[in-house]
């Protein structure tokens, strides 16, 4: 088969979709040497600002034109269905419907129109989670049989010796609480800062708060809350960091906090699990689905609830050990190779139907 994959999201600073796409094609290269893959980027030859990812296998090539494909996959809504090819679209979330507060009316309208067109054109829809599948059914009336849930994976870490896990507040190399995510309203960075302030004021915790992620949209209020904090000297915005620095930050943190209002999947939660970090995350959207009993779940709208769960972890070495081990086991359930195999199975079954 000739399989086309939209990789435009990998050409810039990679956040969720870019990382998803890059990991998917790398995993496909490991599990499939028979089919031919065409990585669509539309990158012009003299465009030096964007870099094409390295081809992961001999059966992979780059392309700027979509033609003569058996199947084409994208996670974007701005492309029309290629002629003759089966059209598979991954829907990572339905934020504009489930959490519209963080977007302008114009953005909601534009995305809604594009998504409706894609939902009508796609031969098969892939959802990152059962939560996203339920949202597609709820908000767009999509038939459940049209949607296949394929969980993304997590990159394999070096084995973490049980004896080296960071049991006890600050027993890692760094005494800080870690948040990783784009700075935008739905990520609830304001709630993280308020919870941190409350912990500092009421319980005098010694930890700092590291916030990792690039500025997204409507981020201004986050910095207003930060400026108003009497503990802002202990709040460090790291901005966007490369994979090497992110790896270090995960490895040296005391715990991970991610009380997002809405997630289609929530990659950082699984990443934190894979490092043996105790995790505090939301019970809402896919965070609760992914976190299950491997994390402490909170009401993201209640900063004291967030703070209380953080404090519970800091005050209990037994809980830290329990959550670390549960998280590592949970992360093992999410493999990129398994994702690729399920994706390839879906492609094969889609192309075999008329």
Could you tell me the domains of the chain?
Answer: 2-153+335-351 (3.40.50.2000), 162-331 (3.40.50.2000)
Dihedral in degrees, nearest 10, Cα atoms 188, 191, 193, 198 = -170
Q: What is the pLDDT of residue 216?
A: 86
Cα(290)–Cα(301) distance, rounded to whole angstroms? 19
Q: In the chain, pLDDT over 90 holds for what percent of residues?
A: 78
Radius of gyration of the chain (CA): 21
Task: Please say whether the beta carbons of 211 and 240 come within 8 A.
Answer: no
**14 or 91, greater pLDDT:** 91
Q: What is the pLDDT of residue 290?
A: 95
> 43-51 contacts: CB < 8 A, separation 24 or more?
43/11, 50/11, 50/12, 51/11
The pLDDT tens digits for 120-147 are: 999 999 999 999 999 999 999 999 999 9
Q: What is the pLDDT of residue 207?
A: 96
Closest CA to 52 of 64, 65, 37: 64
Q: Which of 23-32, 45-54, 166-175 has the lowest mean pLDDT?
A: 166-175
Dihedral in degrees, nearest 10, Cα atoms 247, 126, 9, 292 = -20
Q: What is the mean pLDDT of the chain?
A: 91
The pLDDT tens digits for 140-182 are: 999 999 999 999 999 866 655 444 455 444 444 569 999 999 9
Location of structure tokens 């939560």: 131
Closest CA to 60 of 14, 8, 2: 2
Q: What is the pLDDT of residue 161?
A: 46
Q: What is the pLDDT of residue 67?
A: 87
Cα(335)–Cα(337) distance, rounded to whole angstroms? 5
The pLDDT tens digits for 56-80 are: 999 999 999 888 999 999 999 999 8
Task: Please say whether the beta carbons of 168 and 317 come within 8 A.
Answer: yes
Cα(94)–Cα(264) distance, rounded to whole angstroms? 7
Q: Is the pLDDT of residue 42 over 70?
A: yes
Cα(227)–Cα(282) distance, rounded to whole angstroms? 25
DSSP one-letter code for 46: T
Question: Which tokens hold the place of 318?
Answer: 């037994």
The pLDDT tens digits for 244-276 are: 999 999 999 999 999 999 999 989 999 999 999
Q: Which of 28-37, 96-105, 224-233, 302-311 has the lowest mean pLDDT?
A: 96-105
Question: Which tokens hold the place of 152?
Answer: 């993304």
Q: What is the largest CA-CA distance in the chain?
A: 65
Q: Is the pLDDT of residue 323 over 60?
A: yes
Location of structure tokens 């939301």: 282
pLDDT bracket for residue 46 (50, 70, 90): low
Q: What are phi and psi of 340, to 5 degrees?
A: -65, -40
Closest CA to 286 of 155, 92, 141, 112: 92
Helix (H), strand (E) at residue 156: none
Q: Which of 67-71, 198-202, 282-286, 348-352 has the lowest mean pLDDT?
A: 348-352
Q: Is the pLDDT of residue 49 over 80?
A: no
Q: Is the pLDDT of residue 214 over 50?
A: yes
């Amino acid at each position: 088969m000739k399989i086309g994959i939209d990789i435009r999201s990998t050409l810039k600073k990679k956040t969720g979709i870019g990382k998803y796409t890059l990991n998917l094609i790398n995993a496909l290269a490991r599990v499939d040497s028979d089919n031919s893959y065409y990585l669509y980027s539309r990158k012009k030859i003299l465009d030096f600002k964007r870099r094409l990812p390295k081809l992961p296998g001999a059966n992979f090539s780059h392309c700027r034109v979509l033609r003569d494909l058996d199947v084409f996959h994208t996670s974007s809504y701005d492309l029309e269905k290629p002629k003759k090819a089966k059209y598979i679209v991954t829907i990572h979330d339905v934020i504009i419907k489930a959490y519209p507060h963080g977007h302008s009316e114009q953005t909601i309208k534009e995305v809604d129109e594009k998504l409706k067109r894609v939902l009508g054109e796609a031969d098969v829809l892939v959802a990152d989670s059962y939560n996203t599948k339920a949202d597609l059914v709820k908000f767009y009336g999509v038939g459940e049989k049209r949607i296949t849930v394929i969980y993304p994976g997590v990159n394999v870490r070096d084995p973490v010796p049980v004896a080296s896990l960071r049991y006890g507040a600050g027993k890692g190399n760094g005494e800080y609480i870690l948040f990783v995510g784009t700075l935008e309203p739905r990520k609830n960075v304001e709630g993280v800062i308020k919870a941190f302030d409350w912990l500092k004021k009421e319980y005098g915790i010694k930890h700092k708060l590291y916030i990792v992620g690039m500025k997204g949209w409507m981020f201004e209020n986050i910095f207003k809350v930060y400026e108003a904090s009497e503990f802002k000297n202990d709040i460090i915005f790291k901005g966007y960091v490369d994979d090497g620095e992110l790896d270090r930050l995960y490895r040296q943190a005391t715990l991970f906090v991610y009380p997002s209002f809405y997630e289609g999947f929530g990659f950082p939660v699984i990443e934190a699990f894979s490092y043996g970090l105790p995790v505090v995350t939301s019970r809402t959207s896919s965070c609760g689905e992914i976190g299950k009993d491997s994390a402490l779940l909170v009401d993201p709208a209640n900063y004291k609830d967030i703070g209380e769960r953080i404090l519970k972890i800091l005050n209990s070495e037994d809980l830290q050990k329990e959550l670390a081990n549960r998280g590592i086991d949970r992360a093992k359930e999410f493999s990129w190779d398994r994702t690729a195999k399920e994706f390839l199975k879906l492609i094969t079954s889609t192309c075999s139907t008329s």
